[in-house]
A and B are shown apart, each in its own frame.
Chain A
């Protein structure tokens, strides 16, 4: 029996099929990377918790009212000035070196602020408190948080540049690239973080009637 040759399968439409699938996936793909401002919430205090007494000058009070106006330490401020004001407050370093409850309150050796005795003692004592009205717009709130973080980032970058010759952002990236295993880098990151610890506290919003 003479065997007939198998006819070749026509692969010309293969490209069409692949294109169809390609377009389907192109349309359904969402390439958005989820990113946002990260915050760490405070744990619920136990019932018999007594809040520590903090000197008023070590608290940087920010309030946002329902019209999205900004009040910083009792004065009206524009959003664009907030970052500089925060840096001035954090970097003040007005302490004189008294040890209170085991924490040395200065003098801050790496601060470059004006050493105003009426402002914060030391970056590790400085607390930023954000109070907002319930009716404040979320967008404004996020912008304020962002400015505060930017102030911290600037200070950390500056210190890191002085101590280790690279900015804090680069330092953190290098640490991350080492799969968080490089002890030397870890020490550096923690050192900078300790020099300018991030303390942003959110006051429960006041309710509006």
Chain B
């Protein structure tokens, strides 16, 4: 009996010396994967539609994003059809200038690979999309991605 009691006496402390190492490892992982949001949204974060046939957007630097949704500021009305380009609310007519500005800092070779990603709320109307699409065709920005979540909306 006394044998067991002896063992219980000096329980070694768990070494926490490697804890900083573990934490640092996690820290570096998150530092590397973090992408800071460059533009703050002037519209309510759009509730994206869902689709199953989605493709991942590659080469993030060549993607320009257009947001469509409800403006946070009530002076723009409560409809779901406000367009945000960069960090201000604009109209479909501003899309042309927006795309040309996006092209400025890309090399000529990269221009055909530039993609426009439209993040539109699912309650916005197709009319807005058609206006934007028309302007994109004007400036020959033909690659378009309709941003959507992965998932199905159809109940079978």
Contact = CB atoms under 8 A, between A and B. Distances in A.
Interface of A: 11, 14-15, 18-19, 21-22, 25-26, 28-31, 33-44, 64, 79-80, 132-139, 141-143, 145-147, 149-150, 153, 202, 204-205, 207
Contacts of B140: 43-44
Given A28-B34, A37-B53, A143-B51, A22 B23 contact: yes
Given A38-B143, A39-B146, A138 B120 contact: yes
Nearest to B81: A138
Given A31-B33, A134-B127, A138-B49, A38 B122 contact: no
A15 B19 contact: yes
B36 A143 contact: no
Size class of B's contact patch?
35 or more
A182 to B, nearest CB: 18
A44 B75 CA distance: 36
Contacts, number: 160
Interface of B: 16, 19-20, 23-24, 26-27, 30-31, 33-37, 49, 51-57, 60, 63, 68, 115, 117-118, 120-130, 133-134, 136-138, 140-150, 153-156
Nearest to A207: B127
Contacts of A22: 23, 26-27, 30
Given A35-B56, A204-B134, 19 more contacts: A18-B20, A18-B24, A19-B23, A21-B27, A30-B35, A35-B54, A35-B55, A36-B117, A36-B145, A41-B136, A79-B154, A134-B125, A135-B126, A138-B68, A138-B120, A138-B124, A141-B129, A142-B49, A202-B130
